[in-house]
Amino acid sequence: MATKAVTHFSVEAILVAIVGILLLASLYMMGAATENSAQFDRVYSLLVLVNIVGLVILLVLLAVNFQRLRRQYRERVVGSRMTLRLIVIFVVLALMPVSIVFYFSLQFLHRSIDSWFDVRVEQALNDSLSLSRLALNSRMRNMVGKTETMALTLTDISETQAALRLNDLRDDSDSTELMLMASSGRIIASSNIDPIIIVPNKPTAVMLSQMRSNGRYFGLDTTADLGLHVRVLLEVPSGEPIAGPRIFQALFPVSKRVSKLTDSVQEAHAQYERLVYLREPLKFSFTLTLSLVLLLTVLVAAWAAFLSARRLVYPIQVLATGTRAVASGNYDQRLPLPGNDDEMGFLVQSFNDMTRRIGLAQSDAQHSQQQAESQRAYLEAVLRRLSSGVLTLSRDQILRTVNDAACDILETKLDAYIGCSLSEIRNENPKLGIFLDSLDERLVQGQAEWVEEVTRFNSHGRQALMCRGATLPGVGNMSAGHVIVFDDFTTLIRAQRDAAWGEVARRLAHEIKNPLTPIQLSAERMRHCYLPKLSKEEGDLLDRSTNTIVQQVEVMIKMVNAFSEYARAPRLETVALNINRLIEEALDLYSSDSVIFSADLADDLPKIEADRGRIRQLLNNLIKNAIEAPHSSGRPQVTVMTRLIRGQVTDLVEMDIVDNGDGFPDDIIGELFEPYVTTKPKGTGLGLAIVKKIVEEHGGIVRAQNLTAGGAAVMIRFPALARDTPKPSDGVIEEKTTG
């Protein structure tokens, strides 16, 4: 700070010295110019330039100093108010005596310069010039009268006689040239005292305009060959109404003596006017110089005030700077000790001791913060390597952190949404709608811990997520929030189900299916051996009993085979299938007069990737169930519809099988796709369970519902194969993908 203050002082001292030199040079040039008016005329521009340069330097110095003071005053810099008070005192003390000297000096200079010019001489020159003008005007009026007399003789004269008449008129008058021309500017005739001059001296357009306005024109005019002349222009009637009036011009010479005297008077008057003109610039230059002296005095006073204030407030400013540095967190600030050992030195030493102790405490705090950051980095590394997805949310559902597993499971770069709310993420990425809606419902309930299974669609089809959430307590500056951990257990559920039903199927085959064949054979053997030996009544009883045993055994064998088929692990041979074609084949197979079939199949439906045999088995089960559905009245009616569902992740092919039966009972509609759930007296309860298994094997979803108008409907959705250029059709609608 001290170095900067010394630098400012040096620069200002140099500028003040430059201004002083410029003022001395200006005063010297003005003193020399006052002795010679011509020299003053030459150096006047230089004097003005020198004075302006000095004035600009002074104004810049004043502006810089006061702008710095204004900024310091607004920023409440220590010592700025003291500096302002010192400047006011110094300027007032310097301005009062200097202003008095300035006023009287200025009055003395102006009176002295005015005394250099004699008013009587100026009046004599003006009177001489007026007398010359009156004499010329009297002569010109005389010439105008002669011209008007000559013009009367030219009235109604023909063009052939005009030249002779002009020669006669010129000989009788003292004119040097006469000319008659038409109103269009064409010269009719002319006569010149010099026969060599053929082309007359034509008037200008301005002269003609003034003649037409005033009826005449006269004035002094200097011609190229004849010298100073009096030119007179008049209009002369032509006697021809169509041609219009003619223009008559006469040139009268002015004697050389009169012309010389006139030029002498005008030159003397012009020279005196130039001298008078220099009087005011001289006054202005002296006034400007004195003003610069006044401004220089004010500047020196203000400069002295600034210098004194800097010396007085420098120690306080140093201490204030150190205090601000400590307030901003810079505890390494050390203030320079003053040279004298006084109270200020003791205060500075105490300040340095305080900053040293605070710096040691800050180092300890930074070390603790670094340890906390290391632990946080360790936790982030652990979260990145977890196979479970982890999300942390603030209390107002703002996403704080997310690990890589969550992005992989949800197939979305969630780290790009950190700092966004769940609603904003849902708007930007609609395919996460089901997942985020489930989280939102749980978070709104405000439970400390919760568990929920969420089913959604991803790029591979149906996905099952197990979500667990908990409320996080607030720690330090971090407010309370929520943590959500979720896993993708779609494959695990499918494997567990297949393993469980496979084990059940093996036990059924061992416990039930194997004894059924001997029972059936024994019943047939009993009927074959004893039926001929019994009476008719006893034979009928034996026949009915053995037939019942055989039929029930066959039913049990079919049931076990169906269950084994349901529990069997899938061995799919998938190909690109057109589901509309399989539906048409299935409807042709069940075509009958007792059932009304109808199909509403969407055109240009994309293919699905599926096993042809399994999809055919699915269609057979659904159509058969629709035909066998209980009907209160009328013939059975089955309708099969297909359409394309546009999804955010993938397109879906939807198939609906609708019947006009009595619908599903309300008490079992939530368990329709579970094994052994049926409404038929002779049903096995595995038809819809096998349908659901086939749908899930192909990554689809199935749903059943009763219709408001009567009947029931089963809706199935399969992921559609991607097409290069999908074309919309009548069966294509837009709908969000649901779980």
Residues 53-77 have pLDDT tens digits of 766 776 777 777 778 878 888 887 7
CATH of domain 139-254: 3.30.450.20
110-133: average pLDDT: 62
Can you tell me the distance from the alpha carbon of 373 to that of 295, in angstroms, rounded to the nearest whole number?
64
pLDDT band of 606, cuts 50, 70, 90: very high
pLDDT at 415: 82
369 pLDDT more than 70: yes
* Highest mean pLDDT: which range of 15-24, 470-479, 602-611: 602-611
Can you tell me the distance from the alpha carbon of 635 to that of 481, in angstroms, rounded to the nearest whole number?
61
Delimit the domains of the chain by residue range: 2-116+271-325, 139-254, 386-488, 495-567, 574-734
674 pLDDT more than 70: yes
Do the Cβ atoms of 163 and 187 come closer than 8 Å?
A: no
375-404: average pLDDT: 79
3-state secondary structure of 615: helix
Q: How far is CA 516 from CA 165, 507, 543, 554, 563, in A?
A: 164, 14, 19, 8, 16
Q: How far is CA 248 from CA 508, 638, 736, in A?
A: 146, 123, 104
641 pLDDT more than 90: yes
Check for a shared fold between 139-254 and 386-488.
yes
Q: How far is CA 172 from CA 151, 168, 345, in A?
A: 13, 6, 115
- Give, rounded to a whole angstrom, the gap between the first and last alpha carbons of the chain: 72
pLDDT at 737: 38
Q: How far is CA 366 from CA 362, 363, 642, in A?
A: 6, 5, 67
321-328: average pLDDT: 74
Compute how many other C-beta atoms are within 10 angstroms of the C-beta atom of residue 737: 22
Question: Which has more pLDDT, 442 or 642?
Answer: 642
395-422: average pLDDT: 86
What's 574-734's CATH class?
alpha beta
Can you tell me the distance from the alpha carbon of 481 to that of 135, in angstroms, rounded to the nearest whole number?
112
Report the range of poorest mean pLDDT among 7-11, 261-265, 310-314, 676-680.
Answer: 7-11
Calculate the CA dihedral of residues 624, 626, 627, 631 and round it to 10 degrees: 150
CATH fold, domain 386-488, is Beta-Lactamase (3.30.450)
- The token pair at 684 is 């096995």
Average pLDDT over the chain reads 76
